[in-house]
Amino acid sequence: MLLLVASSAFAYGPFVGPGAIDLTGGDSNVAGGDGTIWSSSINQPTGTGVYDPFLRVQNGGSEEGFNTDYGTPLPPLDDKAGIWTHSVQWNTLTTVTVEGNDYYVFQLDANEEQSGDRSLISLDELQIYSDSNGSRSDLNGLSALYDLDNGTDRTVFIETALKPGSGTDDLTVYIPTSFFSTVSGTDYMYFYCQFGLSDANTGLETGATFEEWRALQGGGNDVPEPSTLVLLGSGLLGLMGVRSRKK
């Protein structure tokens, strides 16, 4: 007899439960529940900003790191040394305004193996800090201004098979600038991430290749054109529809 199973386009997921931000179906404009907006892939905002790399992390199994100018004798955690890992001053970030709210925008270029479920990856921790020193070797003593796990242990599930390889963006996140209202523009943004903390053999662990984060930079306020705004708004409405159907 014919057995019909999951209708998902992928064999793994959907990932459900409190704190699950599942982008594995190519989802756009998923509300993080803390004001953030997550997409597997969206059109880049038009205007003055450019996406500049500021952090590469690389390790098999799981990997963690933060951007810093510290590199001697070795960069901290699983940071990959080179021109892609460096400090970022707050006043270099571009502010994007969507429906009256201001955001900083970050993109992830993940670079996972593409066999079986290995193309999946989990983003388990994301914290953003500020400090006047751009060359820290650790983040001890700092308090996170943004924490993905604040209130709820969130996990972002990403399917890199949608945009395989290096040089293709796998995730975009809009983070409200209101989290960072106390920072000085000339201070440094520290962006800490950890991937692949899920149980082994789920495919969500990290492969041996690197992940790279980029920020929308160029400074100033970049108001999306009306067409972009409409797309974002309708995406949010679409999401609510999807959510209610799942219940």
Distances (CA, A) of 37 to 34, 54, 164: 9, 21, 22
Are β-strands 155-159 and 120-131 bridged in parallel, bridged antiparallel, or unpaired?
antiparallel
HSE, side-chain direction, 13 A CA sphere, residue 174: 25
Number of DSSP helices (H) and strands (E) in the chain, helices first: 1, 15
80: contact with Ca ion by CB under 5 A = no
Q: CB 25 → Ca ion: shortest distance, Å? A: 17
- Decide: helix, strand or coil at residue 162: helix
Query: Nearer to Ca ion by C-beta: 87 or 155?
Result: 155
Tokens of 163: 């945009």
112: contact with Ca ion by CB under 5 A = yes
Query: Nearer to Ca ion by C-beta: 85 or 111?
Result: 111
Query: Nearer to Ca ion by C-beta: 153 or 225?
Result: 153
Q: Which of 48, 133, 150, 168 binds Ca ion (CB under 5 A)?
A: 168
Query: Nearer to Ca ion by C-beta: 80 or 118?
Result: 118
Instruction: For CA atoms 29, 219, 87, 187, give the dihedral sign.
Output: negative
- Decide: helix, strand or coil at residue 51: strand
Q: Which of 6, 11, 82, 153 binds Ca ion (CB under 5 A)?
A: 153
Distances (CA, A) of 237 to 21, 32, 113, 186, 207: 16, 14, 33, 37, 35
Q: Per-residue contact track with Ca ion, 91 to 110, x per CB under 5 A?
A: ------------------x-
Task: Name the one range near Ca ion by CB under 5 A: 51-59, 124-132, 173-181, 210-218.
Answer: 124-132
Residues touching Ca ion, count (CB under 5 A): 10
200: contact with Ca ion by CB under 5 A = no
22: contact with Ca ion by CB under 5 A = no
Binding site for Ca ion (CB under 5 A): 109, 112, 118, 121, 124, 149, 153, 163, 168, 170
